[in-house]
Amino acid sequence: MKQLISITLLFILSLSMPLYAEDKPLPAVLVHKVAVTDITPTFKLVGRIQASERVKLLARVSGFLEQRHFTEGRDINKGELLFSIEKANYEIGLKQAQADLASAKASLKNAQSNLNRNSQLRKRQAVSQSQLDQAAADRDLAKAQVLKAEAGLQKAELDLGYTEIIAPFSGRIGKANFSVGDLISPESGTLATIVKIDQVHVEMSVSEKLMLDARRKGVDLDNPPVAPRLILSDGSIYDSAGEFNFISPEVDTATDTITLRATFQNPNYLLLPGEFVHVEIKRKQPESGIMIPQSAVQRDKQGYFVLQVDDAGKVSITRVEMGQQIEGKWLVINGLRENDRVITEGLQKVKSGILVNAVEE
């Protein structure tokens, strides 16, 4: 379609252009006006969004679920109470553990007194050495019983504390998998999942060959030379650039790729974990240069050249040094300046030194 439009435009222009002295029309050509453009190298990859933090809430004790304190799908704060499990059994267990500790301490006190008494009697030869040794052993056993009772009390306190399930960090909580009244236990599985999405990770896989040059130069994750941007599903660019914070230390042998991870701020929760996005990776320091259409470039024994048109419409040959080709255009390293005009269509009708009717694209 573009070529048809160009040919039509040339035809129309040829009907109204000025004439030579011999009443011949000037050849009509399309020209491209040279401009300095951004030529910063860019790579595009596919990535998947992940929550920066994710936790599955599990029950650590058994009991009936007494209450759910949150609304599904809403934001919750660190330390917020989320689930309550029945406490009665564990409160009883705590009181029993407290009683066991008190009893053990009393036994220790009695054993210590008995040892002290036997020690005095032994000095007067009123008891045997074996009786004194037995009193010392009883005292040591009582000490061990106190330590055991203290451990039992700590476990009872922990179990009672586990009847309240608290948010470990601020984030957004998902669907509750159990209802009030359900009997739950550590084997029940996930009660609900919390994700932190005000900041998200995007993981992508890049060819090991593409990373080879970066590794040769040295990869500095504290100050990387490139910055990733996201292209959303509707084609728009996400307004916040990301920062790379992880490069896999080994190559995936199944895909011959290396995993990269970048972090993006997500204050409005526009990005959701699990979705695919396109990632555009570009150098932070921009590069500029002259790009012209490939159709303008010709080659002979001496090398590459273009047909240039001056302000008077006269055609001349300009030798150029070419660089890489990018998306249908060619980088000009040397030979052209900004605002020069080169012919892109109608080349077969002109040669150096003639006048043309030039129309810019």
Cα–Cα distance measured from residue 317 to residue 336, given in angstroms and rounded to the nearest whole number: 11
Q: What is the CATH number of domain 59-84+166-189?
A: 2.40.50.100
Residue 20: pLDDT above 60? no
CATH match of 2-39+288-360 with 3.30.460.80: no
pLDDT at 214: 67
Task: Work out the average pLDDT over 339-356.
Answer: 90
- List the Cα angle 165/171/174 in 5-degree steps: 70
Token pair of 41 as six digits: 């190298």
Q: Whole-model pTM above 0.95? A: no
CA diameter of the chain: 149
**In the predicted model, what is the mean pLDDT of residues 198-222?**
77
Query: pLDDT at position 326, please?
Result: 79
Which of the 8 DSSP states describes residue 104?
A: H
Q: What's the average model confidence in pLDDT over 312-329?
A: 89
Average pLDDT over residues 31-42: 86
Mean pLDDT of the residues in the chain:
88
Environment class of residue 280 by beta-carbon count within 10 Å: exposed (0-12), middle (13-18) or buried (19+)? middle
What is the per-residue pLDDT for 17? 47
Q: What is the pLDDT of residue 233?
A: 87
CB atoms closer than 10 angstroms to residue 108: 21
pLDDT digits (tens, 9 = 90+) for 57-113: 999 999 999 999 999 999 999 999 999 999 999 999 999 999 999 999 999 999 999
Q: Where are the domains of the chain?
A: 2-39+288-360, 42-54+196-283, 59-84+166-189, 87-162
Q: What is the pLDDT of residue 16?
A: 47
User: Which residues are bridge partners to 309 per DSSP?
Assistant: 315
* Superfamily of segment(s) 42-54+196-283: Efflux pump adaptor protein, beta barrel domain (2.40.30.170)
87-162 fold? Helix Hairpins (1.10.287)
Strand-strand pairing, 28-33 and 357-360: parallel
Q: Cα–Cα distance between 283 and 43 in angstroms, integer?
A: 10
Mean pLDDT across the stretch 17-26? 58
